[in-house]
A and B are shown apart, each in its own frame.
Chain A
Amino acid sequence: MNDIIKILQQNARISNTALGEMLGITAEEAAAQIENLEKSGVIKGYSVIVDDDLYDKSTVYATIELKVTPQRDCGFDDIAKTIMMYDEVESVSLMSSGAYDLAVEVKGNNLKDVAFFVSERLATIDGILSTSTHFILKKYKEKGIFIDCEEHDERGLC
Chain B
Amino acid sequence: MSNIEKYTQAFCQAFDIDEETAKKLKFQDIPAWDSVGHMGLVAQLEEAFDIMLEPDDIVDLSSFEKGKEILAKYDITF
Question: Does A associate with B in a complex?
Answer: no
